[in-house]
Amino acid sequence: MSIEKGRVVVSRDLIKRHLSRSKLLSKAYELLINDVEVRALLRMSNIMAVKRLRYNDHGPVHAMIVAGTALELFERLLAHGVQPTTIRDGVVSDVEHAKLVVMYGALLHDIGNSVHRVNHEMYGAIMAHSILNRVLPEIVENVEEMYSIRQEIMHAVYATAGGVRCLSVEAGVVKIADGLDMAEGRARIPYRLGKIDMHAVSALSIKRVEISEGERRPIRVDVVMSSSAGLFQVEAVLLPKVSTSGLADYLEIYINLNGEAHRVFPS
């Protein structure tokens, strides 16, 4: 399916655009997001990360934003002829199941925060195992393919860790999407709770993140900010994720300050 090549804003509404195009994804989304355990884990992730550690949002809204953004990145790469790794390696039989890996990896990527922030990516991957064993049989009929998809989703969750290299395009878009949820709304709760550091100030200066067609590469990202403090968020959070995503060659990243765009990647 072709996609619009226009500019979209990273937001919680982006997931609706992709669910409306796919009965499989729509069913899968409802099954997972309404699962009692998943809801509890996402809630506990925010209690641990936001209330106790005063980090940015890591709960259901963040999961929804990352899922929609990851699917957007994935579809744009597909439109430019990038082959899903799961299809290349014979793990899945069609693009819809490759998208399932992306969406579920994104929705579950932060559940490990419900245990602790330290090593949360590893905890999350392990915790996803039993959840996927329960949910995936409702979506994937072929049992062997279902277990293979489970492992790909677990990889996508684990590979969001900073120093871990993504081994699939599917995991790569999840990791980058995680870094793109950086607009000011994510930082407002910890800021109100009294967290005033470079991370909080930097995030509050970012007004929106936009995805569009690149000039020389498939994807352009524009980070629109009100002050240069937002550059810290790009350099400290986003670019390290890009470097281990396996997808750096497909991205152009710009900061937009005072109406002027400046490319920061590739430098």
Q: What is the pLDDT of residues 140-193, one digit of tens each?
A: 999 999 999 999 999 999 999 999 999 999 999 999 999 999 886 554 554 455
Cα 38 to Cα 34: distance, rounded to the nearest angstrom: 7
Distances (CA, A) of 138 to 32, 40, 123: 11, 21, 24
Assess whether pLDDT exceeds 70 at residue 13: yes
Per the CB < 8 A criterion, the answer to whether 108 and 124 are in contact is yes
**CATH class assigned to 8-265:** mainly alpha
The Cβ of residue 192 has, within 10 Å, a number of other Cβ atoms equal to 9
Residue 5's pLDDT is what?
62
Residue 199's pLDDT is what?
61
Residue 191's pLDDT is what?
45
The string of pLDDT tens digits covering residues 38-78 is: 999 999 999 998 888 877 777 899 999 999 999 999 999 99
Boundaries of every domain in the chain: 8-265
The string of pLDDT tens digits covering residues 190-245 is: 445 555 566 667 778 889 999 999 999 999 999 999 998 889 889 988 999 999 99
Task: Name, in order, each residue with C-beta under 8 angstroms of 169's C-beta and a sequence gap of 6 or more.
Answer: 74, 77, 82, 83, 84, 85, 246, 247
